[in-house]
A and B are shown apart, each in its own frame.
Chain A
Amino acid sequence: MNCALEFKGVVKTYGSRRALDGLDLAVPRGAIFGLVGSNGAGKTTALAVSVGLLRRDAGTVSLLGEGMFDPERHAGRVTLLPQDSRLPLHARVEDLLWFYGRLQGLSEGTLRESIDEVLEWVHLRDRRRSPVRTLSHGMMRRLTIAQAFLGRPELVLLDEPMSGLDPREAARIRAILKRRHDTQTVVISSHDLHELETLCDAAAFIEAGRLVRQDSMDSLTRRSRRVTYFLEPAGRPLPMAELQQALPGATWEQALEGAELTVKFFDETARAAETNARVLEILLRHGVGVLEIRRGSNLESEYFFATDAHGSSVTPLPPARAATP
């Protein structure tokens, strides 16, 4: 695999505590990649180790297939949005980005264009001459996101990028991140699993400094192998015989007294869209009220499942829908 970021057996200790305990990870180039883990799982440490902010104790980290982070080689090509770090308060927004861009080796013309671009992305063009200290918390957060994309780096590491953003700005940033797909590699560490599910092509679950599972988002959430239908409660009886006949290789699960119907198919050639078309046609023909259709599982359930199996102490509450009588 052509990796933008690769960890092999990375160990990082703080005193007697192992923050990273032989972490293996491979982030494919051009991916929007999610890092998922509980507090203290090692996500922030992993990102900081990547760019040399923290010294690792063992193992190797390779960036852009060129070995360990080296500012001479990687400056401007790899950037980071660090967690819980304050920007210098006295600098003006534009001056600060100018300073960062010059350190990245950007020419004046490129830097000017890049500053305009990233400030536009984060809605801060009108505050470009404002001192950082006069920005609100959310604005500062947006500025930290802007600095990470300055000069179109090849690999962008974002640690909790959406924390502190209002819903509208968060949606805007999500849309921008989605557009990075295939042009840049973006690694996002976040506790918002729904956000990661909608944004990322792939994700890794990390617990206690180790990789629990890494896969494409399709595989993690079984998007291509599972469709769930939320049906009108106490509606007509389901035409299970006809459904089974239409999709002989699939298995069916009913829950909530028939209000939830899940079809799982294991045939590699089967496509969720085609399957859905056939199932939906049968359900509607029999007058079954279909309220919602969902592809695959959700990342949260899969994360709980994977980390529980791994021995994590996390005990999720049952999903709200399942708890509803």
Chain B
Amino acid sequence: MARSTLRNTWTVALHELADSIRSRRAIVLLILYVLGAVAATLLFVKALHEIENQLEKAVGVAEAQRVGGTTSALWKNRQFKEMLTHFVGSSDAATRLLSFTPLALFYGWLSFTFTPLLVMLMSSSRISEEIWSGSVRFVMFRTSRLSWCAGKFAGQALQLLVALLLSALAAWVTGWCRMAFFAPLPNALDLLLFALKAWVYGIAFLGLATGISQAVASPNVATALGFVAMVAVGILSSVAGWVTMQPWRTILDTVDMLLPGGHQMDLWLTDVPHALPGTLFVLCLGAAYALAGYVSFSRRNL
């Protein structure tokens, strides 16, 4: 039983991926990710150059024409590390952050910020579209509802992974072309790491999108609800970070545990005690959101 469920889940996932490519939905997603990464990296390089020039002017040295040199030196500077420690509140965290290249840190911020939005826009109507058009009826007597939904989820997750890896590649190529002091291998490894971290983070939102898509039969309503849910999750996470007054603090801490944002910092870190539970928790959150939608879908008249 489990074997055929897994086989069908994989079949549905591959079909979902192929269908996304055929429908050009995946192409649009890839273009958004790649162009977004290229454009943002170009802006980052420009901003970095300006910051470096201002720093060089402030300390009275000649302005460099090539980007990245001053930043590389700054990254190794003890005072800068102390300053960063002051910002993040922990010497360990500052050390870990400085172990990444500046471009990777920027890419990490970029992908953690925009991946949820793109996931909700692209994925929250995938299942509801098929309920709406009735095409789901051609499948439901060939496989179980669970394996179909799991396959849809897996197909979307594969699509997201490809998009993030390509965007990391685009950021790497842009950085390599535009930054003089660019270490290819460390940047490649750090960008790959952040692409994978953003993918894990995106899985939680994919679970939310899939859950909504299973529970709602109208694709337009599902997309709107997906957007509302993403904003609500973002607001709740932000509020959880600001409120200090008890008993709200305790309540919001608990709520924050159930939101992807509550585990974002764990994902940023690389040490196993933080990164592993954070990764597992976020993946479980994605599965839980999707399963909550499945409870509705499993009882739905199709």
Contact = CB atoms under 8 A, between A and B. Distances in A.
B144 interface: yes
B139 A103 contact: yes
Contact of A54 (B18, B133, B302): B302
Contacts of B12: 103
Interface string B3-27: 0100110011001001100110000
Contact of A51 (B4, B19, B140, B144): B140
Contacts of A103: 8, 11-12, 139, 142-143
Contact of B138 (A48, A102, A147): A147
Interface of A: 48, 51-55, 69, 71-72, 74-76, 78-80, 82, 84-88, 90-92, 95, 99-100, 102-105, 131, 144, 147
A85 B130 CA distance: 10
Closest 8 CB pairs of A and B: A85-B134, A103-B142, A90-B23, A51-B141, A82-B137, A90-B22, A86-B133, A53-B302
A131 B140 contact: no
Nearest to A92: B22
Nearest to B301: A54
B78 interface: no
27 contacts: A48-B302, A53-B137, A53-B302, A54-B301, A54-B302, A55-B299, A55-B301, A72-B1, A72-B4, A75-B4, A78-B141, A79-B141, A80-B141, A82-B137, A85-B137, A86-B134, A88-B130, A90-B22, A91-B15, A99-B11, A99-B15, A103-B8, A103-B11, A103-B139, A103-B142, A144-B138, A147-B138
B4 A53 contact: no
Given A48-B302, A87-B138, 13 more contacts: A51-B140, A51-B141, A71-B141, A79-B142, A80-B141, A82-B138, A88-B130, A91-B19, A92-B22, A99-B11, A102-B11, A104-B142, A144-B138
B90 interface: no
Which of B1, B4, B137, B142 is the most central at the interface, judged by chain A CB atoms within 10 Å of its CB?
B142
Contacts of A87: 135, 138
B140 A84 contact: no
Tell me if B's interface is mostly helix, strand, loop or mixed. Answer: helix
A54 B302 CA distance: 6
Q: How large is the interface on B (under 10, 10 to 19, 20 to 34, 35 or more residues)?
A: 20 to 34
Nearest to A82: B137
A90 B17 CA distance: 12
B137 A75 contact: no
Nearest to B129: A88
Contacts of B15: 91, 99
A103 B140 CA distance: 10
Nearest to A87: B135
Contacts of A95: 18
A13 to B, nearest CB: 11
A95 B23 CA distance: 14
Contacts of A55: 299, 301
B27 to A, nearest CB: 12
Contacts of A105: 4, 7
Contacts of B23: 90
Given A54-B302, A103-B11, A74 B141 contact: yes
A85 B135 contact: yes
B143 A75 contact: yes
Contacts of B134: 82, 84-86
A80 B137 contact: yes
Given A84-B134, A87-B135, A131-B22, A53 B144 contact: no
Nearest to A148: B138
Contacts of B130: 88
A29 B191 CA distance: 62
A82 B133 CA distance: 12
A51 B302 CA distance: 11
A102 B11 CA distance: 7
Nearest to B10: A102
Interface string B136-159: 011111111000000000000000
B133 A85 contact: yes
Contacts of A72: 1, 4, 144
Contacts of B18: 91, 95
Contacts of A85: 133-135, 137-138
Nearest to B143: A103
Contact of A100 (B142, B144, B302): B142
A88 B141 contact: no
A71 B142 contact: yes
B144 A88 contact: no
